[in-house]
Amino acid sequence: MPILLRSPATDKLGVTDEGLSDGAYRIAYGPDWMALIGKDFNFDPPFKPWPMGRKDTAESQAAWDEAIKGHTDTGWNFPFRTGYKFRWSNISFGKMMSERYGEDNARLWETAAEFPHGFWEFDEGGSLNAVYALLRKLGVRWYMPREIGETVPEMATVTVAPIDETSHPAFAIRGWLWYNFGGFSFDDIMWSRRLGMNSGYEKIGLLRGPHGLVAVHGHKAMQEAHPEYYAVIGGEHDTIHRGHGTANFMSEGLAQETVNYIRFIFDTYDLPAVDIWPGDGIMLSQDEASRGKTASELVWGFVDRVAREVYKTHPDKLIICGAYTTYQIPPDNIDKFTPNVVVNISNCGRSNSYDPEHWARYRAMVEGWESKVAPGHLMRYENNRSGLSSPFTFPLIHPRAMARDLRYLKGKSMGERGEVAQRQMRWHAPGHDHLGLYVQARFLWDPDQDLDALLDEYYRVFYGPAAEQMQQAFEFAEEARVQKQNTTLEALLHYRDLIEAARAAAGDTLYGDRIQLIMDELKPRDEIVAEYEARQKAIAEFRDNARLAIGVDGADLSQAETYELRDISTGEEVEVKTTFRVGWDQDAILFDIKCYDPDAGNPNITSDIYSGDYVAISLETPEFSFYHIEINPEGEVIDGNPGPKVRTWKSLAEVKTERGADFWRVQARIPVVGVEEAEADPHHRVAGYKPTPEAPWYFNVGRNRMLGAREAELQTFSPTGKSNWRVPVRFGRLEIR
């Protein structure tokens, strides 16, 4: 029985790829034939000359500069500059392919002088998906990259029952975020193809983000000619941040420049989408038009204005932006976007999907975005960088969290790019990472499938006699993270015990080799114990000698000792002083912080707080580590952990502020409740009891003093040795006497 791919023979049979897109496939049969077919797409770079290597970028850049003349009065960055990273090829391509697939494989490859043999990340292979689907029906599995990850059942006779099916993926976009696709091994790339991953090119093209807005305002000529397009920070237009500057999202000139750029891309290269996600490390402009607005209001207000204008001329094209960091939450100032907006919800901590509080916050956010965009115009971007240390002390295993999120997103999202665990153009730890990626790939096709059945088969087929032990190990790892127990020495050693038991059960077999790969990714037991004990000893020694602050028992802080802040890294005295006093009054901790400044009448105030002047209070009680509060000169408060993080915990602090000729001042009263009340309401107030010499708290008081557009002086009571608040082991000691 011949097996047919797309050819004159399938055309004659009337088996076509009509209606198949995004990697969908059809398997059809007749009395003496079977057809495996899908829509296949060979990427042809829309821009010529396409850079095929670093040496080609100058020529391509010159062609770009010529193409955009008349569309901008300055310049736009070349968005295809690293296009060569999207192509996989090899100097020994022909030899390698012949060794794997036979001498006649060359007939399958189209080639041109400017594009040697190989394939692009943007190629789509519906027919290939059909082939792999048939092989899966015969029991073949690709659980992990390379030959060690492949399972092929032994069969004396291959019998294929009549099959007549058409399979459409639940998610059109099923991409991993390759850090240089062209640098990975052939086996790594083929693993993704065998699992049915793609780039989503049909839906979103190749300008899919992130951080595409940088191309509009990153050109040096733009910075020189239009400083008004850039955020005002510290009284200056920030044209220098990371070489591309910080966008002013209230600038109508920048909005029009972005519209011009997008229309040029659509008209010239006919791409389906353009990303205008802002660059990393954004800070909010302090000009009058931006003042008082949140990051979400500014970023998404800009997206809305641009998208509405583009929609007038290109209603069938898409505008993508990421919901990310400080602008991750849906804005209150936009009820509904035009139908061309796609929101890429990013970095939501998918591995925490079984944490009830996290899941509730996440769902509320997704539903908020869903209400504002056209049906299905969400994407997910999970740049999972967890566990990239080498070797592991404890892994990130989260197949159930992965499946839960993808089931929830079905019908809401067009797909995703992300969940990577890569370093230096290879999978960082394939022994541990492969299961989450395998589940992701299969659930992007069918999120309604039985996860328990998939996992039971995985453990049985992949680990043989060690199936039970490996299931115990991986389930323990996932549950320990859910319960936030994965950093304890007990958990670290127990996980290693379970892996060692599995290794013993597998013996000297292929199953044992797979488990040995996992063991090789773990730190040795003695090293784990030694590091843990050394860390505990260092913490104890530091805290025995921690800088001490003594507060008064009562509301009158004029009776309390005054303490000065120091340089956060060196511990040296600073020229512009910051002082504080601390006390305790009726189940509340009190702080009076005085920030001296020759320009105190004009402090640097931003709506996001953390990118301007502010003071910081960190509190670790015997019951909880740790709380963090940031307060700006106007008394606006951010609670949670340092920086632009979304948190539900609120301190409920009462704050008063004052400004003098050469100082600004913050007085904060932070309520404290006992353990039972804190457990009943974990989202509000500090859990603990009055700090005493016998049961002290550990704490820090800090100040972020802006010196210019991007320069800040950081001061703390107890120096952390880093430019970072988040070092609780170096907090000072607090007692009330």
DSSP string, 40-81: EE----SSSSPP-SGGGHHHHHHHHHHHTBTTBSS----TTT
- CA atoms within 13 A of residue 36's CA, in its CB half-sphere: 16
Write down which residue in 543, 578, 594 finishes a domain.
Answer: 543
Same domain assignment for residues 406 and 505: no
pLDDT in tens, 8-64: 888 888 888 999 999 999 999 888 888 999 999 889 999 999 998 889 999 999 999
- Mean pLDDT in residue range 368-381: 97
Confidence label for 644 from pLDDT (cuts 50, 70 and 90): very low
Q: In this structure, are 589 and 500 located in the same domain?
A: no
Q: With respect to residue 66, please indicate whether it lies within any of the assigned structural domains.
A: no
Same domain, 388 and 524: no
Query: What's the average model confidence in pLDDT over 522-549?
Result: 91
In the predicted model, is pLDDT for residue 645 greater than 60?
A: no
Residue 398 pLDDT greater than 80, yes or no: yes
How many whole angstroms separate alpha carbon 223 and alpha carbon 217? 7
pLDDT of residue 475: 97
Q: Above 70 in pLDDT, residue 603? A: yes
Stretch among 467-481, 597-611, 631-645, 692-706 having the lowest mean pLDDT: 631-645
Structural domain includes residue 338 = yes
Neighbours of 686 (CB within 10 A): 24
In a domain, residue 599? The reply is yes
Least confident of 190-199, 288-297, 671-680: 671-680
Quick check: is 129 in a domain? no
Inform me whether the pLDDT recorded for 642 exceeds 70.
no
Of residues 451 and 647, more confidently modeled = 451
pLDDT at residue 643 greater than cutoff 60: no
Using the Cα atoms of residue 275, residue 281, residue 286 and residue 287 in order, give the sign of their dihedral.
negative
- Residue 117: per-residue pLDDT: 76
Q: How many C-beta atoms lie closer than 10 Å to residue 31's C-beta?
A: 6
| pLDDT tens digit sequence for 464-493 | 999 999 999 999 999 998 887 888 899 999
Look at residues 392, 418, 449 and tell me which one is the last residue of a structural domain. Answer: 449
Q: What is the per-residue pLDDT for 575?
A: 94
Q: Over the stretch 227-266, which tens digit does the pLDDT of each residue have?
A: 999 999 878 899 988 899 999 999 999 999 999 999 999 9
CATH code at 394? 3.20.20
* pLDDT tens-place string over residues 140-149: 999 999 999 9
What integer is the mean pLDDT of 305-318?
Answer: 98
The band of 392, judged by pLDDT with boundaries at 50, 70 and 90, is confident
pLDDT of residue 418: 85
Name the more confident of 500 and 98: 500
Give the pLDDT of residue 268.
97
In a shared domain, residues 555 and 439: no
Read off the pLDDT of each residue in 365-384 and give the average, rounded to a whole number: 94
Find the mean pLDDT for residues 316-325: 96
Angstrom CA distances, 131 to 5, 125, 166, 194, 196, stand at 9, 10, 13, 9, 11
Question: Is the residue at 65 inside a domain?
Answer: no
Range of the domain at 663: 546-736
pLDDT > 70 fraction of the chain, expressed in percent and rounded? 96
Is the predicted pLDDT of residue 2 greater than 70, yes or no? Answer: no
pLDDT level of residue 539 (50, 70, 90 thresholds):
confident
Residue 26 inside a domain? The answer is no
Considering the domain boundaries, does residue 245 fall inside one?
yes
Q: For the chain, how many structural domains are there in total?
A: 3
Tens-digit pLDDT profile for residues 186-213: 999 999 999 999 999 999 999 998 999 9
| 503 shares its domain with 559 | no
Give pLDDT, residue 101: 84
Regarding whether 509 and 413 lie in a shared domain, the answer is no
495 and 600 both lie in a single domain: no
The pLDDT score that the predictor gives to residue 115 is 60
What pLDDT score does 113 carry? 59
Residue 242 shares a structural domain with residue 296 = yes
Task: Tell whether 444 and 520 lie within a shared domain.
Answer: no
Can you say whether residue 422 is alpha, beta or left, with left for phi > 0 and alpha for psi between -120 and 50 degrees? beta
646 — pLDDT class (breaks 50, 70, 90): very low
With 60 as the cut, is the pLDDT of residue 454 above it? yes
* pLDDT bracket for residue 226 (50, 70, 90): very high
H-type alpha helices, 295-385: 295-313, 356-370
Same domain, 411 and 488: no
**Average pLDDT of the chain, as a whole number:** 91
For residue 535, the SS3 value is helix
Within a domain: 85: no
Nearest 5°: the CA angle 238, 241, 243 is 115
Q: Are residues 481 and 416 in the same domain?
A: no
Predicted confidence (pLDDT) at residue 103 exceeds the cutoff of 90: no
Rounded to the nearest 5°, which phi and psi values hold at 478? -65, -45
For 323-339, what is the mean pLDDT? 94
Is residue 152's pLDDT more than 50?
yes
Burial bucket for residue 284 (CB in 10 Å: 0-12, 13-18, 19+): buried
- Give the H/E segment covering residue 656: strand 654-659
Write down the number of H helices and E strands in the chain: 19, 32
How confident is the model over 388-409, as a mean pLDDT?
88
pLDDT of residue 291: 86
> What value does the mean pLDDT take over residues 96-118?
74
pLDDT of residue 404: 97
Structure-token pair, residue 621: 């009680």
Q: Do 433 and 562 lie in a common domain?
A: no
Q: How confident is the model at residue 496 (pLDDT cuts 50, 70, 90)?
A: very high
Pick the range with the lowest mean pLDDT from 34-48, 58-72, 87-101, 637-651.
637-651
**Segment 434-449, tens digit of pLDDT:** 999 999 999 999 999 9
